[in-house]
Structure 1
Amino acid sequence: MIQRTRALFFLWLAMLMGAATCLLALTGDAAAHAALVRVEPADGAVVGTAPNSFSLTFSEPTSPLVLKLIKPDGTITTLDRFVLRDTTLDIAAPTGLGNGTHVLSWRIVSEDGHPVGGSAVFSIGAPSSGSPPNVSDAIDWPVRIAIWACKVVLYAGLFIGIGGIFFTQWIGGPSPAALRVAVGAAGAALLVTPLTVGLQGLDALGTPLSALGNAVAWTTGFSTSYGNTAIVAAISAAVALVALLAGGWIGKVLSLLALVGVGVALAASGHAGAAQPQWVTRPAVFLHAIGITFWAGSLIPLAAALRMQSPDAILALRRFSKVIPVAVLPLVAAGILLAIIQLGSPSALWSTAYGQVLIAKLVLLVALFGLAAFNRFWLTAPAERGERPATAQLVRSIRLELAIVLAIFAVAAFWRFTPPPRALAAAAAAPASVHIHSAKAMADLTITPGRVGPASASIVVMTGDFGPLDAKAVTLILANPSAGIEPIRRPATRLSDGTWQVDALNLPLPGRWAARIDILVSDFELAKLESPIDIRP
């Protein structure tokens, strides 16, 4: 009874410690999986003269990794002069750009640690004859497969290794077989963690697996938020191994710290940890990880003890059956909460790659919880009474639980390659905006969302020197002559805050539209402001 109470107390303590750590780690707004909102010059644009700069605007703050310009003759120029302004990256253009088709290529990393790449084709003067310069967007399957495989090994090492060591320290006595597996799993996590950093760097830079030996791959991997995850994960695995050597109360404390470290490591990066609100998502990821670690780590030691019919097996089973709800209930609650936040809408469950991975995981979870319920309500009681057939069946069932858990790890590792629907929705809802300036007047035009379909426009008008402008009327005119769309004229309505609003817009095609704002300054003066504005698909 005393041992069970201690286990319950310290499991709760681990959860509280980690949740507090995650909250203290919030040092500002973290970003989601970033998506491109606007690029200047726009993709497909033809400009009259060479631009002095390029501009990339993303849905969230990012950090540039690789920026390059591919010229019409195929030569590549690295763009190393840039300025970050919140979500916008302003890049200085090389001098002496000639006419023809160019490709602006970028690779950035979002604050959740995941790289995002893309390119935009634009022409100076006129498009080049023949095909534009080639930019390969093909998936590097060797790198991707290596990332997935190492992610699965890392999950198994952290959850089964560290969880198994925690179980042997707090719930049941160590069996040689269980200890060998726990040590092997924790050791695998310790060894594979640095490799995942190098692979992260390769993926971020878009370089092949053969470049893994280059120092830049490792420094790039550590520079992302995943570097923090790798450091904490490696330390946690090492601490868990030391806990076995130390034994006694020192071993118990160290195994507890290692358990906490798993939760902190997984909350430090990734889609779920980067979602808003941070004060909810990071502790939720932590609790989810702690629950998985305790449950998955307990399976092998428990099955080994029951199979060997050791004297402490029944006692360990009783302790586990009492403690497991403490881990599972927060695990389930946190998982449901994170799924709701990540999906954003029910339709994303089947319409996005992220949701389809979640469906596969849910199918496995239903089987896992069904099997766990069968074990608890039909097999645990007779096994505790020493009935050998029930004990043997329970061992087989626990092994099947372990197989399902490993399958869940394999499925969950695919999330590394799928942006969450919430990030896609945020990018789709991002507005298109432009500032138009003349000597008489100027205006800030914002179309929300800045993509094809129903939209609304907000217009702020000012004098040419940024003073207030009490206009009598404002009219918005949008046209896309290259697509055969004649001017769409909509009068704006003045709101109480002084802005002008246009509702019931419907933009049928993406591309570069011509925007004109007619400002009736007085009965005898009309200011016309014109500028292109890019509408996304």
Structure 2
Amino acid sequence: MRKICIHLLVFVLFLFSFGTSSAYAHANLTKTTPSNGSLLTTTPESVALEFSEPLEPDLIGLKLYDWTGAERAIDNPHLAPGKPNEMIAPLPQLDDGTYTVAWSVISEDGHPVNGSYSFSIGTASEGRIAPATSSKLFQHSTEIGLIVLRYVVEGFLLLGAGLYGLAHAARRFQLPRVEVLLSRKHRTLIWSVLLLLTAAQWMVYSAGLPGGGITSALLNGHWNVLLESSFATMLIVQLGLLLLLALRGMQEIWYPLIWALLVSNLAFGGHARGVDPEWLALSLRVLHLLVIALWLGGLSYLALTMHHEHVHGERIDRTKFRPFFVRLMVAAVLLTTITGIAMTEVQTDWFSVLLFRGGMWGNLLWLKIALMLVMILLAFYQTMRWKQDAGKLSFELLRVEWLVGILVIQVAIFLSQMPYPAPIKPYSQTLQAEQRQVDVRIPQLVLGKQTMTITLPEAPQAVKAELKMMDMEMGSLDLKPVQIDATHYNFDIPFTMSGNWKYTITATYPTDQQVVWTDTIRIPLGGISR
């Protein structure tokens, strides 16, 4: 029986590693037919949208709205034959007016990515009405429902993992096990609730996806849809681990191990996916979750032992346990702080987020820091009282610290659901061509209007620059030079979209020699402009 269980655990760990595959891709819209804002004389046969990555046919959605905001009936979209990155939907005969195409696909972390564009037939409509918001309200409802479910599930998992881990370590101090502190009835109830909530997470998540959702795709035998959603893979691994947790008669280390894997698995369903380097982002996220679990689980263990004393009238000697517990909690606090800072640094520019324009994400990060400081102060005060007298350990203070920790979890889940501000970096390059060089400077690589400054080695007769969005059929944009002096020029650059941009600088010298320099830069999605 135990060999079978070990094989099951190996299989779950295989799924765990499967969920970290680099196959996840972020599909960006690169071309639309008809093009955005175009004016047509007749109804096109279809609308076509090309993306930067292949799409999953079961997880695409497309709707058409007219100028009154009413939805027009069209056939379901499908992938173009031989072009897995292109979505097509045939169109019926349409009246003259302006139409809006709303599309939805899946992002690299499993969340739906939506967008829209418009085109007109005959004449553009005046006084257009926005499309009906019922679908958006439904999507917002599923997002809120998923946040609530994740909050409850992750709270249970963090507390359970920390409780089992600390209880296992406390056995050498002759302190009670979890089985003594929690009856089988309570443990079974918690396990059943987690199982039901996992199923609820799957249903709510699937309902919010485009197309027929993941469930219908899997029922049709399209298992490759799991490659499109790390969150779905995380839920499957979570379900498998919960089933392994229900096994009885295993070695004592089995249950803390499964709980630790349940918490580690949470890291694979959030923003850590797609962050470069991904292995570092995932490792930091796993460690951050484990030390938070240890912190909250330690508080829960102390509270449960005090409750056990009160109910059964038993005196538990924590004298030898206290130094170990204090050192463990100090380590947990330090690691929580260090990994939190490191995660923010890997994901974004944490200094800019906190001190400048972090928006809602930055405000929530400030709130998380403030709540953790409250926990640290409460822990320090409680430790000082406990050091003076073991009887001064306050159940009420433990409960307050525990509740603040629950709030930290809630804020962290909101942070994981929101798009984080991308880090902003300056651009500075020296380009070489035909034994001549040019220095190029852009203060911030961020969406919006930026200024590119170039320094030439000698004064040219003329200089010009072009800008083009890579992988987009948008043509080149001529940039107007503003001369500072004989060798210095400024160009205003309008970065209107995130992605890869290619610029070209051409200088003409008195000998009619033309020197061309070119380079590619990447503009991230979002950012904080100081």
Change (3 A) 1:25 1:144: closer
Name which of 168, 191, 197 aligns with 2:196: 191
- Percent identical pairs in the alignment equals 21
Note if 1:94 corresponds to 2:90: yes
Would the aligned equivalents of 1:236 and 1:259 in 2 still touch at CA under 8 Å? no
What one-letter code is carried by the residue in structure 1 that aligns with 2:117? Answer: A
Alpha-carbon distance in structure 2 between the residues aligned to 1:38 and 1:345 = 34
Alpha-carbon distance in structure 1 between the residues aligned to 2:496 and 2:159 = 52
Would the aligned equivalents of 2:358 and 2:421 in 1 still touch at CA under 8 Å? no
How many Å apart are 1:279 and its aligned residue? 2.0
Change (3 A) 1:509 1:236: closer
Change (3 A) 1:61 1:375: farther
How many Å apart are 1:113 and its aligned residue? 1.6
Would the aligned equivalents of 1:170 and 1:252 in 2 still touch at CA under 8 Å? no
Instruction: Give the equivalent residue in structure 2 for 1:276.
Output: 276
Instruction: Give the equivalent residue in structure 1 for 2:165.
Output: 166
Alpha-carbon distance in structure 1 between the residues aligned to 2:323 and 2:299 = 14
Change (3 A) 1:477 1:324: closer
Would the aligned equivalents of 1:193 and 1:230 in 2 still touch at CA under 8 Å? yes
Instruction: Give the equivalent residue in structure 1 for 2:522.
Output: none
Would the aligned equivalents of 1:112 and 1:225 in 2 still touch at CA under 8 Å? yes
How many Å apart are 1:150 and its aligned residue? 0.8
Would the aligned equivalents of 2:260 and 2:290 in 1 still touch at CA under 8 Å? yes
Secondary structure class of the residue paired with 1:300: helix
Name which of 335, 357, 374 aligns with 2:381: 374
Cα deviation, 1:278-331, whole Å, max 9, x if unaligned, reads 121111111011112222122222122235153354444443223334444333
Secondary structure class of the residue paired with 2:136: coil
Alpha-carbon distance in structure 2 between the residues aligned to 1:97 and 1:518 = 48
Instruction: Give the equivalent residue in structure 1 for 2:491.
Output: 504
How many Å apart are 1:160 and its aligned residue? 1.1
Aligned pair count reads 434
Would the aligned equivalents of 1:178 and 1:300 in 2 still touch at CA under 8 Å? no
Would the aligned equivalents of 1:42 and 1:122 in 2 still touch at CA under 8 Å? yes
Instruction: Give the equivalent residue in structure 2 for 1:352.
Output: 359
How many Å apart are 1:23 and its aligned residue? 8.4
5+ residue gaps, structure 2, are 1-11, 428-443, 455-460, 468-476, 483-488, 498-504, 513-524
How many Å apart are 1:509 and its aligned residue? 9.1
Cα deviation, 1:319-357, whole Å, max 9, x if unaligned, reads 322333444433322111111223325333453222222
What one-letter code is carried by the residue in structure 2 that aligns with 1:260? Answer: L
CA RMSD of aligned residues (A): 4.8
How many Å apart are 1:157 and its aligned residue? 1.3
Note if 1:365 corresponds to 2:378: no
Cα deviation, 1:162-193, whole Å, max 9, x if unaligned, reads 32223333324226444576654444323211
The answer to which structure has the higher helix fraction is 1
Secondary structure class of the residue paired with 1:70: strand
How many Å apart are 1:373 and its aligned residue? 2.1
Secondary structure class of the residue paired with 2:205: helix
Cα deviation, 1:423-475, whole Å, max 9, x if unaligned, reads 8x79xx9xxxxxxxxxxxxxxxxxx97964126699xxxxxxxxxxxxx9995
How many Å apart are 1:270 and its aligned residue? 0.8
Alpha-carbon distance in structure 2 between the residues aligned to 1:316 and 1:357 = 36
Instruction: Give the equivalent residue in structure 2 for 1:116.
Output: 113
Instruction: Give the equivalent residue in structure 1 for 2:49.
Output: 55
Q: When the two structures are superposed, what TM-score results if normalisation uses the length of structure 2?
A: 0.67
Bigger drift between 67-76 and 156-165 goes to 67-76
Name which of 239, 247, 251 aligns with 1:234: 239
Secondary structure class of the residue paired with 1:134: coil
Q: When the two structures are superposed, what TM-score results if normalisation uses the length of structure 1?
A: 0.66
Would the aligned equivalents of 2:55 and 2:86 in 1 still touch at CA under 8 Å? no
Alpha-carbon distance in structure 2 between the residues aligned to 1:206 and 1:272 = 26
How many Å apart are 1:503 and its aligned residue? 5.8
Alpha-carbon distance in structure 2 between the residues aligned to 1:42 and 1:348 = 36
How many Å apart are 1:419 and its aligned residue? 0.7
Secondary structure class of the residue paired with 1:54: strand
Instruction: Give the equivalent residue in structure 2 for 1:258.
Output: 259
Alpha-carbon distance in structure 2 between the residues aligned to 1:124 and 1:455 = 38
